[in-house]
Structure 1
Amino acid sequence: MRIVLGLIVTAVWGLSFSMIKIAQETFDPLFLLVLRFVLCFLPAVFFVRRPQVPLRQLASYGLAFGIGQFGLLFFGIKAGLSPGLASVVLQLQVFFTISFSALLLKERMTRGQVAGLVLGFAGVVMVGGITKGTVTIVGLLLVTCAAMSWGAANVLVKRMDHADPLGLIVWSSPIPAAILLPCSLVVEGYTSIESSVRAMDWTAFGALLFIAYPTTVIGYSVWNALLQRYETGRVAPLTLLVPVFGLASSMLIFGERITLPKAAACGLLILGLCVNQVSVHRRQQVPAAHRLMETQS
Structure 2
Amino acid sequence: MRPLDRLYAAGFVVAWSSGFIGVELGTRDASAVTLLTWRFLVLALPAAAWIAHRRSRFAGRDLRLHLVIGAFAQVGYLSGVAFAAQLGVAPGVVSLIAGLQPLIMAVAAAAFLSERTSRLQVLGLLIGLAGVALVVSVDGGGPVPLWAYALPLGSVLSLVAATVVERRTRPDSLGPIDALAVQFLFAAIAFTMIAAAGGYLRPAATPDFWAGVILTVVLAGIGGYGLYWAVVHRSGATVASSLLYLTPPTTLLWAWAMFGDQVTGRAWAGLAVTALGVALALRRGPGPPPHESSTAGYPGVTERR
TM-score range, shorter chain: 0.7 to 0.9
What are the within-5 Å matches in structure 2 for residues 5-44 of structure 1?
5-44=8-47
Paired residue secondary structure (1:106): coil
Q: How many residues align?
A: 277
| Partner of residue 185 from structure 2, selected from 154, 174, 184 | 174
- Taking every aligned residue pair, what percent have the same amino acid on both sides? 21
Paired residue secondary structure (2:282): helix
What are the within-5 Å matches in structure 2 for residues 276-287 of structure 1?
276-278=281-283, 280=284, 282-284=285-287
Unpaired segments ≥5 residues, structure 2: 290-305
Distance 1:55 1:47 in 2: 14
1:237 to partner: Cα distance: 3.4
**1:272 maps to which residue?**
277
Are the equivalent residues in 2 in contact too, given 1:87–1:246 (CA < 8 A)? no
What are the within-5 Å matches in structure 2 for residues 130-149 of structure 1?
130=138, 132=140, 141-149=150-158
What are the within-5 Å matches in structure 2 for residues 1-297 of structure 1?
1-48=4-51, 49=54, 51-52=58-59, 53-78=61-86, 79-82=88-91, 90-122=98-130, 130=138, 132=140, 141-159=150-168, 160=170, 162=172, 163-187=174-198, 189=199, 193-194=201-202, 197=203, 199-265=204-270, 267-278=272-283, 280=284, 282-284=285-287
Distance 1:127 1:141 in 2: 21
Give the letter for the 1:15 counterpart.
Answer: S
Give the letter for the 2:120 counterpart.
Answer: G
Distance 1:254 1:146 in 2: 27
Distance 1:267 1:168 in 2: 36
Distance change (3 Å), C-alpha of 1:27 and 1:208: same
Distance 1:169 1:255 in 2: 34
Distance 1:179 1:122 in 2: 35
Are the equivalent residues in 1 in contact too, given 2:65–2:171 (CA < 8 A)? no
TM-score norm. by structure 2 comes to: 0.75
1:61 to partner: Cα distance: 0.8
Unpaired segments ≥5 residues, structure 1: 287-297
TM-score norm. by structure 1 comes to: 0.77
Which moved further from structure 2: 16-25 or 54-63?
54-63
Distance 1:10 1:127 in 2: 16
Distance change (3 Å), C-alpha of 1:260 and 1:181: same
Residue by residue over 1:230-287, the C-alpha shift from the partner in whole angstroms, topping out at 9 and shown as x without a partner, is 4334444344542332111121333322234444555545443333223x2x53589x
Are the equivalent residues in 1 in contact too, given 2:245–2:278 (CA < 8 A)? yes
Give the letter for the 1:143 counterpart.
Answer: P
Distance change (3 Å), C-alpha of 1:39 and 1:91: farther
Paired residue secondary structure (2:286): helix
1:123 to partner: Cα distance: 5.0
RMSD: 3.3
1:211 to partner: Cα distance: 0.5
Distance change (3 Å), C-alpha of 1:275 and 1:77: farther
Are the equivalent residues in 2 in contact too, given 1:170–1:217 (CA < 8 A)? no
Distance 2:37 2:171 in 1: 27
Give the letter for the 1:150 counterpart.
Answer: L
Distance 2:163 2:28 in 1: 30
Are the equivalent residues in 1 in contact too, given 2:75–2:187 (CA < 8 A)? yes
